[in-house]
Structure formats: structure tokens, C-alpha cells
A and B are shown apart, each in its own frame.
Chain A
Amino acid sequence: MTIILIRTLILYALVIFAVRLMGKRQIGELQPSELVVTILISNIATLSLENTDIPLLQGILPVLALVCFEVLSSWASLRFPGFRRLISGSPQVIIRDGVIDQSMLRKLRFSPDDLLAALRTAGVFSVEEVQYAVAETNGNVSVLQKSDASENPPVMVIADGNLREKALHEAGLDRHWAEQMLRKAGLHIGEVFLMTADETRQCNIIRKGGER
């Protein structure tokens, strides 16, 4: 009994430390890799708690290793967009100007019921009312209604110094235009933390360090 109590205390402290090490991202919506790590940690911790035949170290080691891998993979996701797409996927437009992209729905394995349920959750009851609906990487669907302020939602064209050619293309823009705007602002791509632009060529640039 005493042994189980002490092991529980140690594992409790370890899991709290693990969640703190993973950071605040963990507390909000879970990305696929975070979901996997959370499930695995809870399982491993339970096994070590229940079974005193297993050395405590065999419970501690995988928990710590998983959390460290998760932290390093989050860092790599931040640094390398390709790695982020591989681990978390990328947001996909499923409704554009009231028209459902059926091939994308099939690709995402979204049924029409799922889609309508997601729209209703967002307070929209008709597909025609939707300007844009985007399936986010965490499984949520973000909806922009036609009556909302902008008919052309801005897209992120530069994130943390990385130019996103695909996003530029979706907004009907190109790399040349982005470089021109940056030249006007006296910046180059590597100095930009965030740049958004829409189809009307309105852009917003935030340089690294927080200056707009």
C-alpha cells in the first residue's frame, strides 16, 4: 500500500511536470501529435501505478521521452513548415462562396451531416450564407459568413520569415508582389514575423520583435 502511495505521488509530480513542459498549447485545442502524446502518457502512468512489478523507471522514462519528443517536434514544426504540414496537416477550404468543395470533403472524410453540424455550431444554418469554411488542423471548422465585414478573408503569406507561395497563389498574388510590398516597408522576408494579404491586395505586415 505504502509503495503504491509513494509511486502515485512520484508519477503525479511527473505528469504535472510533463504537462508544464509541453506548455500552454496542451491546455487548449489538441493537435494530432499532442492528442497521441496525452493518451500515451495517461496510459503509461496508469500501468506503472497499478503494477508494482514494473520498475518505476520503466514508467518515468517513456513519459519523459514522449514529452521531450513532443517539445522538440513542436519546435521543429515552428521552424520547418514542411515538417509542420507532415505532423499537423494544413487547413483546407471546404466551402468557398457558398459552394461546397465535395472532393475536399471526401478527402477529409467529412460527411454532409458532419459539415452541417459544424456550420450549425458556428451559428450558420445554410451553406449559401457561407463565404468561407475552413477545416482546421485540430478538426474544428472555422466559418466566415457572407454578411461578415470582409468578403475576402486575409491569408497568411509570410509566417516567421517563411514565404507561403501556395497561400499567395490562393489570394491571386505572387512572390514578386510580396517582395515589392516588403521593399516598400524596408524589410526582407526573413525579418517578417507575420504578413497577411487578401485578394484586394490589402496587406498587413508585422516585423519580428512586434513592430507593425
Chain B
Amino acid sequence: MTRIWTSIGILAVLLGLCICSVRAVDGACARYDAQAAQAEAALSAGDTAGALAACDGLMAEWDRFHGICGIFVTGSRLTPIREELAALRPMIAAGMPESHAGLARLRYRIRCIPEETTPLIWHIL
């Protein structure tokens, strides 16, 4: 019976971990996306300094964001965000119009991450 109870215990822990992963990844992505939205809003308002500050904030938050999401999500989903972020700062500083599209792409990539942890039927299939 020890094995049965151990198995039930492990399954309960795994189930808890699954629920935690959904909450943790959703929360981390929502926070990171909100910061990216700030940068987008500042850029749209023509506030380059504000957009750069928001971008620096995103860079500073990267380790924490990556630390949470990296436990549950494959690296191939996270690496493009890092690359996008690194390319974005010089573009904003140079006042390039592509920075708008870059920020939109960054936000899209962030919003796609929870797909890997949220158990919706089309994600499962």
C-alpha cells in the first residue's frame, strides 16, 4: 500500500504543480506585457525617453521573467523575446519607425507563452 499512497501523493503534487505553472506563467507574462504596453504607449506619444526607460525596465526584469517561465516553458519560446528586446532599444534610441512594429511583435510573443501551460483543448491537441 506504501507504493499506492506514494503514487497518489506524487500525482497530487504534480497536479498542484500544473496549477501553479498556469498561474505563475500567466502572472509573469501579464506583468511583462504590461511593462511592454507602457513602452508602446510612451513611443506612440512620442516620448522616446519614457519608451527607453520602459525598455530598460523590461531588460532589468528579464532574469526574473525568464526564471519563472524557463521552469515550465521551452527555451525556443523565450529566446526570441530576449533577441527582440535587445534589438528594440537601439531602434527606439535612433527613432526608427520599425520600433513600433518591434514592440508589437514583442508583445505578441509574450502573449503567446501561456499557450504552452494553459490546458485548453486546442493547446492539448
Query: Which residues from chain A sit less than 8 Å from chain B, CB to CB?
Result: 21, 23, 52-55, 57-58, 61, 64-65, 67-68, 71-72, 75
Contact = CB atoms under 8 A, between A and B. Distances in A.
Contact of B7 (A52, A54, A71): A71
Most chain A CB within 10 A, of B7, B8, B10, B17, is at B7
B74 to A, nearest CB: 6
A64 B73 CA distance: 18
Given A58-B72, A72-B8, 10 more contacts: A21-B3, A53-B76, A54-B75, A55-B70, A55-B75, A58-B74, A65-B14, A71-B3, A71-B6, A72-B11
Contact of A54 (B8, B10, B74): B74
Interface residues of B, number: 16
Closest 10 CB pairs of A and B: A68-B7, A53-B75, A71-B7, A68-B11, A68-B10, A75-B4, A71-B3, A64-B10, A72-B7, A53-B76
B121 interface: no
Majority secondary structure, A binding face? helix
A64 B76 CA distance: 24
Contacts of B73: 55
A72 B6 contact: no
B-side interface mostly: helix
Given A55-B71, A55-B73, A57-B71, A71 B4 contact: yes
Given A61-B14, A61-B17, A23 B75 contact: no
A53 B74 contact: yes
B6 A21 contact: yes
Contact of B3 (A23, A52, A53, A54): A23
Contact of A55 (B3, B4, B7, B72): B72
Contacts of B76: 53
A164 B10 CA distance: 34
B22 to A, nearest CB: 13
A65 B11 contact: yes
A67 B14 contact: no
Nearest to B9: A68
A57 B3 CA distance: 22
Interface string B66-86: 000011111110000000000
B63 to A, nearest CB: 16
B69 to A, nearest CB: 9
Nearest to A65: B14
Nearest to A71: B7
Contacts of B72: 55, 57-58
Contacts of A54: 74-75
B1 to A, nearest CB: 9
A45 B3 CA distance: 22
B118 to A, nearest CB: 15
A3 to B, nearest CB: 12
A169 to B, nearest CB: 33
Given A61-B14, A61-B17, A67 B74 contact: no
